[in-house]
């Protein structure tokens, strides 16, 4: 099946998310759609999957124009999609999930034909090398296997083109390799795969054809043979990338954050961090690397008092703050850049000026006792907006009207308005454009140079390598090893996958 997207344009208000894009997927092709977050990849795919209606342009399947008004239309046209966030029922079995909404009914009795469902799942999983047990409950399965369930769901509905939206974001390197195997066997069977990603290495490894998008437009079409990672990166960001952040040598001082034997449960009560110990010194950045879901989120939340540790000890500048509330942490000089800035970092309906004092509204000069001074808050905001170059219509505009980068600048401006001994930054550049990412990186380094201890949690290896003075790798809730920033990526990748290297690379807190 050959799919042609012609002159697709999709606007959201004033924003042109997808601008006159042409894309062709040949049968039996793995087509990578490469671009930064916000480049319009997912929007384009949602148009193809019938979730959005394009403002202009058309979709052709085998040269016939088709109307895709809903995912049902898309499935009818043999287009399937696996979203970044899976839509599975945790307490249902694999087979039940696969056939949900499209249940095979027993021909005579008229009820659900479980046996046929299970055998169909088994047949598909064998055909494409998707090792999945149809009787297993989805909640018991690792993320990588859940993803296979999603793929089987699409295949059962006879998808000839499979759209995978950032499929490797949640996978370990090992699971990623397995996924690529699955993609190759799909290709062999004549299926097409449209693979959305922003990771260059994966594109080079698995794609037949590459389309690069930037700011809603196609900026390059190429093949892995005809290009290089550096060239792709340049296309993606529109200029030669300087992955290396400008920073001098760290001058580590005394230990500021001392964590020993920490254990933390996640929100469902499962143990996410166990027996974790680490130290961060004044004037250094400790970067915690790891594949998402290995406890780094819970670690950061627990260190700021948002989750109560089950065991262990947390000391900040010599004071025991185990189990302290976020308020006490903040008062002790701890800054926190949350992973989910829209849920924890900001109040989207509050104005920029109010967001800049979320934790300071009751302190002079913003408030005293019961009285709150909006004028002081506004005045503070106009200073901060200038200082941090926050692009906003006014300090009274709601935070939701700002771009992601500017929202993050608001969070930074607020946290940096207190004198910090320790800064915990959890995925501080997730979803930001290159310019904002640079700003955030620069500010983190400045904070380090000012003498703060910085704990950076990131799933982006490039960020970890660029910023970390030391790198700690977190795996299954504990630090699996330390590395120096000049360690080869592959070696860190092994640590992230839980493989202990033979030679000790780096050592904890020299």
String of DSSP letters for 188-230: HTT-EEEEEES-HHHHHHH-SEEEEEETTEEEEEE-GGG--HH
DSSP code for 429: T
Distance CA 439, CA 444 (A): 9
Query: Nearest approach, Cβ of 19 to other proteins (angstroms)?
Result: 19
Whole-angstrom distance, CA of residue 378 vs CA of residue 376:
5
Query: Nearer to other proteins by C-beta: 248 or 369?
Result: 369
Q: Which of 449, 457, 391 is nearest to 424 (CA)?
A: 457
Least separation in angstroms between residue 151's CB and other proteins is: 33
DSSP string covering 149-192: HHHHHHHHTT-SEEEEESTTTT--HHHHHHHHHHHHHHHHTT-E
When the beta carbons of 13 and 248 are compared against other proteins, the nearer one is: 13
d(CA 467, CA 459): 13
Q: CB nearer to other proteins: give 288 or 329.
A: 329
User: Least CB distance from residue 330 to other proteins, whole Å?
Assistant: 5
Shortest distance (Å) from residue 53 CB to other proteins: 12
Q: How far apart are CA 479 and CA 508, in angstroms?
A: 10
- Name the minimum Å distance from CB 12 to other proteins: 10
- The residues of the shown chain that bind other proteins, judged by CB under 8 A, are 13, 304, 306, 325-330, 336, 338, 340, 343-350, 354, 358-359, 361-362, 367, 369-372, 374
Q: Which of 167, 169, 161 is nearest to 181 (CA)?
A: 167
Q: Is 32 left (phi over 0), alpha (psi -120 to 50) or beta?
A: beta
Q: Residue 395 corresponds to which tokens in the numbers above? A: 């300090």
> Toward other proteins, which CB reaches closer, 230 or 397?
397
Minimum CB distance to other proteins smaller for 298 or for 469: 298
Token pair listed for 135? 């009787």
Q: Shortest approach of other proteins to residue 126 CB, angstroms? A: 43
User: Nearest distance from residue 417's CB to other proteins, in Å?
Assistant: 13
Minimum distance, C-beta of residue 349 to other proteins, in the bound complex (Å): 5
d(CA 301, CA 265): 11
Question: Residue 214 or 414: which CB sits closer to other proteins?
Answer: 414
Positive or negative CA dihedral for 456, 460, 466, 469? positive
Q: Which is nearer to other proteins, 69 or 368 (CB)?
A: 368
| Closest to other proteins by CB, 186 or 346 | 346
């Amino acid at each position: 099946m050959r799919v042609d997207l012609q002159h697709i344009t999709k606007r959201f208000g004033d924003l042109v998310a997808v601008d006159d894009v042409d894309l062709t997927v040949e049968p039996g092709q793995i087509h990578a759609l490469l671009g930064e977050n916000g480049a319009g990849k997912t929007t384009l795919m949602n148009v193809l999957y019938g979730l959005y209606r394009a403002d202009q342009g058309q979709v052709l399947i085998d040269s016939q124009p088709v109307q895709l008004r809903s995912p049902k239309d898309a499935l009818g046209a043999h287009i399937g999609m696996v979203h970044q966030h899976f839509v599975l029922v945790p307490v249902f079995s694999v087979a039940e999930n696969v056939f949900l909404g499209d249940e095979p009914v027993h021909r005579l009795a008229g009820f659900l034909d479980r046996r046929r469902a299970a055998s169909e799942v088994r047949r598909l999983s064998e055909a494409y090398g998707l090792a999945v047990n149809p009787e297993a409950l989805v909640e018991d399965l690792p993320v990588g296997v859940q993803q296979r369930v999603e793929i089987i769901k699409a295949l059962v509905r006879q998808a000839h083109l499979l759209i995978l939206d950032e499929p490797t974001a949640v996978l370990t390197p090992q699971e990623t390799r397995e996924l690529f195997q699955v993609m190759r066997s799909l290709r062999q069977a004549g299926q097409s795969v449209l693979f959305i990603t922003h990771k260059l290495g994966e594109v080079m490894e698995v794609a037949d054809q590459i389309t690069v998008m930037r700011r809603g437009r196609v900026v390059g079409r190429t093949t892995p043979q005809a290009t290089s990672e550096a060239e792709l990166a340049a296309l993606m960001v529109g200029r030669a990338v300087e992955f290396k952040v400008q920073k001098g040598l760290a001058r580590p001082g005394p230990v500021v954050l001392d964590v020993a034997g920490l254990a933390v449960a996640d929100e469902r009560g499962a143990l996410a961090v166990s027996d974790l110990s680490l130290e961060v010194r004044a004037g250094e950045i400790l970067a915690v690397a790891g594949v998402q879901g290995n406890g780094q989120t819970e670690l950061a939340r627990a260190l700021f008092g948002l989750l109560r540790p089950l065991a262990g000890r947390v000391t900040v500048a010599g004071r025991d703050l185990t189990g302290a509330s976020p308020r006490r942490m903040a008062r002790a000089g701890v800054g926190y850049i949350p992973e989910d800035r829209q849920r924890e970092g900001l109040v989207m309906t509050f104005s920029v000026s109010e967001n800049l004092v979320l934790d300071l509204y009751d302190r002079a000069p913003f408030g005293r006792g019961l009285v709150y001074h909006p004028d002081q808050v506004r005045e503070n905001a106009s200073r901060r907006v200038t200082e941090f170059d926050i692009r906003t219509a006014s300090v009274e505009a709601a935070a939701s009207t700002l771009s992601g980068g500017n929202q993050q600048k608001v969070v930074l401006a607020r946290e940096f308005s207190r004198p910090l001994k320790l800064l915990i930054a959890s995925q501080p550049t997730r979803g930001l454009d290159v310019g904002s990412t640079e700003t955030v990186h620069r500010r983190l380094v400045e904070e380090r140079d000012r003498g703060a201890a910085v704990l950076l949690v990131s799933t982006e290896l490039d960020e970890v390598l660029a910023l970390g003075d030391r790198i700690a790798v977190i795996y299954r809730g504990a630090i699996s090893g330390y590395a120096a920033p000049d360690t080869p990526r592959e070696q860190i990748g092994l640590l992230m996958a839980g493989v202990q290297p033979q030679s000790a690379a780096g050592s904890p807190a020299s």
